[in-house]
């Protein structure tokens, strides 16, 4: 099984840009789509990015996703940070047998 490693926490000021990384331990990250979920306390996760870089309807274009094959990682970038973006963010991918979530990154906007 592979793992997805995320930073435990990040913090940034309102209006700034933050990038959260998600590194796949084995297997090529480009072979299976990466999703990003936002989870606010007490709520179920919701999708902010799917298929590496696609945004669901209703998710602002301040959210973007990308893949870097050289580092075997995915990234979630949030620009123009708002207080309401404060949440936990999880990356998720899969292979033929397993579904894997990253350990989550707590974003603090202060």
Binding site for another protein (CB under 8 A): 1, 32-33, 35, 37, 39, 44-47, 50-51, 56, 90, 92-94, 97-104
Minimum CB–partner distance for residue 15 and another protein (Å):
29
Minimum CB–partner distance for residue 8 and another protein (Å):
10
**Closest CB to another protein among residues 48, 78:** 48
Place of tokens 């995320």: 6
Tokens read off for 2: 């592979």
Nearest C-alpha neighbor of 87 from the set 15, 39, 20, 18: 39
Give the DSSP letter of residue 71. T
Minimum CB–partner distance for residue 33 and another protein (Å):
5
**Closest CB to another protein among residues 11, 51:** 51
**Closest CB to another protein among residues 13, 97:** 97
- Give the Cα separation of 93 and 102 in Å (integer): 9
Give the DSSP letter of residue 25. S
Minimum CB–partner distance for residue 61 and another protein (Å):
19
């Amino acid at each position: 099984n592979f793992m997805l490693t995320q930073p435990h926490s990040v913090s940034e000021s309102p209006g700034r840009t933050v990038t959260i990384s998600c590194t796949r331990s084995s297997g090529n990250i480009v072979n299976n789509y990466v999703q990003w979920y936002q989870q606010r306390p007490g709520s179920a996760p919701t999708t902010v990015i799917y298929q590496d870089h696609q945004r669901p309807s209703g998710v602002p274009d301040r959210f973007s996703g990308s893949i870097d094959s050289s580092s075997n990682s995915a990234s979630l970038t949030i620009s123009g940070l708002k207080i309401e973006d404060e949440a936990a963010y999880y990356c998720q991918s899969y292979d033929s047998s397993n579904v894997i979530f990253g350990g989550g990154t707590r974003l603090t906007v202060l």
